[in-house]
Amino acid sequence: MSKSRSILLLNGPNLNLLGQREPHIYGSETLAIHVSNAQSAAKDLGFEIVAMQSNSSSDLVEAIHAARGVHSAIVINPGAFTHYAWSIHDALSAFDGPVVELHLSNPQKRESWRHTSVVAPVAIGTISGFGASGYGLAIRAVASHLS
Ligand code: DQA
């Protein structure tokens, strides 16, 4: 698959617990289900997804560095790193393609510390608050941007 048809899907801390973690906020779907939804949306549009989850910001920074020249876009649900991880902001800033920020919940409707995103300034846009539909929506949004 060429660079132009490949999207990196990154998931940050605690998202490995989706399905068990606060289902009243994040829903009952596991991360594997969200990734599968993203893969289906990508396949319909002729894209491929490479997905990764880590609880460590350094793993995510390394993955973003490795994406340069390999993937055409990054969709990232940074979890709580959204709100303070400037190292992820800087790595995304150095990426040579569009970035979409993704959240299952709508952080703007929640605690005030979630209202700041250090990722938003380096993203073309944000998909948030659409729960289980969000991963597919984010892939459609970035694929449309790339087309
Ligand atoms: C989240 C929102 C973040 O505020 C939170 O820390 C998460 C998940 C979401 O998908 O709604 O871990 O990114």
CATH number of the domain that residue 96 is part of:
3.40.50.9100
Distance (Å) from CA 27 to ligand 1 centroid:
12
Q: Is the CB of 14 under 6 A from ligand 1?
A: yes
Residue 97 sits in which domain range? 3-146
Per-residue pLDDT, 122? 98
Closest atom of ligand 1 relative to the 15 alpha carbon: 12
Q: Which parts of 1-147 fold into alpha helices (H)?
A: 23-26, 31-44, 57-67, 86-93, 134-146
Q: Compute the mean pLDDT over every residue in the chain, rounded to the nearest whole number.
A: 97
d(CA 50, CA 48): 7
Domains of the chain: total: 1
Beta bridge partners of 73: 7
Q: Report in angstroms the alpha-carbon separations of 142 from 20, 38, 55, 57.
A: 28, 11, 24, 23
Q: Is the CB of 118 under 6 A from ligand 1?
A: no
Does position 3 have pLDDT exceeding 90, yes or no?
Answer: no
The pLDDT tens digits of the residues spanning 22-69 come to 999 999 999 999 999 999 999 999 999 999 999 999 999 999 999 999
d(CA 117, CA 120): 6
Residue type, 145: H
Distance (Å) from CA 2 to ligand 1 centroid:
31
